[in-house]
């Protein structure tokens, strides 16, 4: 079978990985554990700004530095020919502050992979759809710091690195998606992100283009009524009308604090009643210990509960 053409140079041992806190600052011990693990795998690192200087402070509200400095640092990482891959240090909050002044045209000239999740969704979607940059919804540096707490965490990282190294392994290998209704097949470009952030982008120039995509949604810590409100907002905005499919990640923490009322699955069933696109549950990605990589903008297909990438 012919090898799928990648949109980026493959990552090999000895390459440099760029690290930047595009959102909130990182706690120093977690940051150092992540850096040491990366170095232990034979990679070099280039750290932008100081991801830890503002931890516990609020000089820049919730963020690691000013929007101007974060934009400048991100631009430098993309321009540096030694940096082959850029990883967000963590999520939390702050990435949307960068969108209005982000130099998409200049970043387009150096389209290297950028990975993160949660709040980083704002950058993943915008960099991919506006600049054609190969972005990946997947583990952040602080995810690496959790290695040792559960073997699944290390597997997430190793699978991400394998994909960046040219492997064609399926993102959800070993995990079967559960169709919500009778429709159990989908084919389209992958669009993945955090529900709160995706909803927050509606009505802005940076709202995602949903048509023709399979939308992968993750969320954590939101009560079912809040999940319903956000999904309803997406529905009212027409986001679901031209989707090829919707896939939900693990939503175990999206429960009422006292266990009252409808469940989050009841919410999903209500929102998609009457919608024509297929809906799937149980994808192994998001805020849990399972956070498998999802390359945004890449063609994928779902058949018999299995996700396969049909492009790179």
Tell me, letter by letter, the H, E, C secondary structure of 96-155. HHHHHHCCHHHHCCCCCCEEECHHHHHHHHHHHHHHCCCEEECCCHHHHCCCCCCHHHHH
Residue 1's pLDDT is 33
pTM of the model: 0.95
- How many domains does the structure of the chain reveal? 2
User: Which one of 164, 195, 229 terminates a domain?
Assistant: 164
The whole-angstrom separation of Cα 244 and Cα 186 is: 6
Residue 2's pLDDT is 40
Residues 134 and 254 in one domain: no
Do the Cβ atoms of 140 and 27 come closer than 8 Å?
A: no
Give residue-wise pLDDT tens across range 236-290: 999 999 999 999 998 879 998 888 889 999 999 999 998 889 999 999 999 989 9
Sheet holding 294-295, edge to edge: 44-47, 16-20, 83-88, 114-116, 135-137, 294-295
Average pLDDT score over the chain: 94
Residues 23 and 137 in one domain: yes
List Cα–Cα distances, 61 to 54, 65, 205, in angstroms: 10, 9, 24
Residue 135's pLDDT is 98
The whole-angstrom separation of Cα 221 and Cα 254 is: 5
Residues 228 and 124 in one domain: no
Q: Whole domain around residue 242: which residue ranges?
A: 178-309
The CB density around residue 151, as the number of other CB atoms within 10 Å, is 9
6 in a structural domain = no
Residues 128 and 34 in one domain: yes
Residue 258's pLDDT is 85
CATH number, domain of 190, equals 3.50.30.60
Residues 209 and 265 in one domain: yes
List Cα–Cα distances, 165 to 12, 44, 86, 273, in angstroms: 6, 15, 14, 41
9 in a structural domain = no
169 in a structural domain = no
Do the Cβ atoms of 19 and 52 come closer than 8 Å?
A: no
Low-confidence ranges of the chain (pLDDT < 50): 1-3
129 in a structural domain = yes
Residue 6's pLDDT is 60
Do the Cβ atoms of 216 and 210 come closer than 8 Å?
A: no
Residues 208 and 293 in one domain: yes
Burial 253-269 (b: 16+ CB within 10 A, else e): ebbeeeeeeeebeebbe
Give residue-wise pLDDT tens across range 202-249: 999 999 999 999 999 999 999 999 999 999 999 999 999 999 999 999
């Amino acid at each position: 079978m012919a090898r799928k053409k990648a949109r980026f140079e493959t990552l090999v041992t000895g390459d440099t990985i760029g690290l930047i806190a595009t959102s909130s600052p990182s706690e120093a011990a977690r940051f150092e554990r992540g850096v040491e693990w990366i170095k232990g795998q034979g990679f070099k690192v280039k750290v932008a700004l100081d991801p830890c200087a503002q931890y516990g402070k609020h000089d820049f509200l919730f963020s690691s530095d000013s929007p101007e400095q974060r934009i400048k640092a991100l631009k430098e990482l993309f321009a540096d020919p030694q940096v082959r891959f850029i990883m967000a240090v963590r999520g939390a909050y702050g990435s949307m502050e960068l969108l209005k002044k982000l130099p998409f045209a200049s970043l387009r000239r150096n389209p290297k992979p950028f990975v993160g999740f949660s709040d980083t969704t704002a950058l993943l979607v915008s960099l991919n759809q506006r600049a054609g940059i190969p972005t990946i919804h997947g583990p952040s540096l602080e995810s690496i710091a959790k290695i040792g707490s559960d073997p699944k965490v290390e597997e997430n990282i190793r699978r991400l690195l394998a994909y960046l190294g040219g492997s064609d392994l399926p993102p959800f290998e070993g995990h079967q998606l559960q169709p919500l209704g009778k429709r159990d097949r989908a084919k389209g470009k992958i669009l993945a992100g955090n529900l709160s952030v995706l909803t927050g982008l509606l009505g802005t120039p940076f709202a995602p283009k949903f048509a023709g995509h399979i939308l992968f949604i993750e969320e954590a810590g939101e009560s079912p009524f809040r999940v319903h409100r956000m999904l309803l907002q997406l529905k009212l905005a027409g986001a679901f009308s031209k989707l090829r499919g919707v896939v939900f990640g693990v939503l175990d923490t999206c429960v009422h604090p006292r266990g009252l009322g409808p469940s989050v699955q009841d919410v999903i069933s209500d929102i998609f009643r009457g919608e024509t696109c297929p809906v799937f549950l149980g994808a192994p990605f998001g805020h849990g210990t399972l956070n498998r990589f999802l390359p945004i903008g890449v063609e994928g297909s779902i058949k018999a509960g299995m996700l396969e990438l049909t492009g790179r």
